[in-house]
Amino acid sequence: MGETPFVTVARAVKVHGRAGEISLDPILQDDLSWLAGTSVWFVPPAEQAVSFRVESVRRGPKGPLIALEGIGSREHASSLAGRAVLVERSAVPAKYLEEEPDPIGLVVRDEQRGHLGEVTEVIVTGANDVWIVHGGPLGEVLIPVIEDVVLDIDFESGEALVRLLPGLIDGGED
């Protein structure tokens, strides 16, 4: 299947408090207590890819908060906000890996236009992922992975059904 060596487990939302804790928006599941003691990477890296050891994980007002070894101030942690948090696949409990199917290779079909192509890349943003679809009659299509656009994903058949919203493709229609 060609699994990647890293898994995105959360997004760093913002710095919390003066000690440099980081508020996370979990992707795999809400309880990230298993991260304590593991190494995490923030992508894209601020300068050079570097790992940080998670000192602690605790419940915050809007989700999990992590403290990182070597990050002791709000200023130091601020460069990590808005980035994806990655963990080595081997460190992720197996029960969580089953919940994260890879969309790369999915054949994408629009409910009105038909075949759009295949997901070739995923852009991880702060709000939602964006699929880059190639190989169809419309050329490259960027599809935001949101409820209003992605109607159905069938990983067993390798297909996704979408509804392109106005302005998502060139051509002026819709």
Secondary structure of 60-98 as H, E, C letters? ECCEEEEEECCCCCHHHHHCCCCCEEEEEHHHCCHHHHC
Distance of CA 48 to the CA centre of its chain: 20
Share of the chain above pLDDT 70, in %: 89
pLDDT at 131 over 70: yes
Q: Give the CATH number of domain 107-162.
A: 2.30.30.240
> How does pLDDT run across 54-97, given as a tens digit for each residue?
999 999 888 899 999 999 899 989 989 888 899 998 888 877 76
CB 118 within 8 A of CB 134: yes
Sign of the dihedral through C-alpha 117, 137, 163, 85: positive
| Residues whose CB falls within 8 Å of the CB of residue 97, separated by 6 or more in sequence, listed in order | 7, 89
- Mean pLDDT value across residues 18-31: 85
Domain ranges of the chain: 6-97, 107-162
Q: Give the CATH number of domain 6-97.
A: 2.40.30.60
CB 21 within 8 A of CB 13: no
Same fold, 6-97 and 107-162: no
CB 52 within 8 A of CB 69: yes
CA distance 158 to 77: 39
